[in-house]
């Protein structure tokens, strides 16, 4: 498996524009997570899905942020309108939620999307 | 609210030395994770600790978990330059894969 795939890897946009980040989880994983990483706040969980259904979106900072998972192999995180303070690295991660043969249930992270809003 | 605290947040050490990174968390959890992140890269899973007293080792790194003390440690033995990275501990806030709460990370620099 290629792992969790995110696109784009880098995005530079002007304030007020709509930004869409994309994620393809590992095949067979039931859980998908969106995290944001900044120097000031570290890694924060924004939202997660189980079987394509949003379970907890309490980490989504504002109504400008929305996330969807139309099917098991694709999710989007959209920011509209974007603001400079949204600049961060956004990670998508997926997990099976069930222990593997080693008893592990860790989440696997994508390479991240570095977003810069100017 | 689950809180995860790591210390130190920054550590510079020489090759060959031993050191320990500490991770405290605020509520009951029986799943603790250690991740490594290189600059500009993603997070790489190092260890998953699932029960009290769990100890796992991989090369020069060893992680342990004390759920009663709500403490995990990541011990580095005879450090080498390649271990320079930022190390995060994370705790599963729910009974399943409910998303992780991360510590702020320990930025580790190992000098020759």
Is pLDDT at A82 greater than 70 in this prediction? yes
Rounded-to-integer distance, Cα A34 and Cα A113, Å:
11
- Token readout for B108 is 């580790």
Distance from CA of A63 to the nearest CA of B (A): 21
Q: Tokens 């994508």 correspond to what residue?
A: A110
- pLDDT grade, residue B100 (50/70/90)? confident
Largest separation between any pair of C-alpha atoms in chain A: 47
Rounded-to-integer distance, Cα B47 and Cα A69, Å:
29
- Token readout for A53 is 């259904």
Mutate which: A9, A38, A42, vs B, most B CBs within 10 A: A42
Mean pLDDT of chain B: 90
Among A25-29, A39-43, A97-101, B19-23, the minimum mean pLDDT is found in A97-101
8 Å CB contact of A42 and B50: no
Is pLDDT at A107 greater than 70 in this prediction? yes
């Amino acid at each position: 498996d290629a792992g969790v795939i995110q696109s784009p890897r880098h995005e530079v946009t002007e304030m007020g524009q709509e930004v869409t980040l994309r994620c393809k989880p590992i095949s067979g994983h039931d859980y998908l997570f969106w995290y944001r990483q900044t120097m000031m706040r570290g890694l924060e969980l924004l939202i997660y899905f189980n079987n394509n259904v949003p379970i907890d979106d309490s980490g989504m900072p504002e109504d400008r942020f929305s996330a969807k998972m139309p099917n098991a192999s694709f999710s989007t995180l959209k920011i509209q309108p974007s603001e400079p303070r949204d600049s961060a690295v956004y990670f998508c991660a997926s997990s099976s939620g069930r222990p593997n043969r080693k008893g592990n249930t860790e989440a696997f992270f994508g390479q991240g999307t570095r977003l810069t809003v100017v | 609210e689950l809180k995860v605290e790591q210390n130190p947040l920054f550590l510079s050490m020489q090759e060959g030395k031993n050191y320990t990174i500490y991770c405290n968390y605020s509520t009951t959890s029986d799943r603790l994770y250690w991740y490594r992140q290189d600059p500009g890269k993603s997070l790489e899973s190092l260890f998953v600790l699932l029960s009290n007293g769990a100890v796992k080792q991989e090369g020069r790194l060893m992680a342990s978990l004390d759920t009663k003390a709500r403490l995990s440690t990541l011990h580095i033995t005879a450090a080498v330059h390649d271990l320079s990275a930022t190390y995060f501990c994370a705790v599963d806030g729910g009974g399943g894969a409910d998303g992780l709460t991360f510590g702020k990370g320990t930025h580790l620099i190992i000098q020759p």
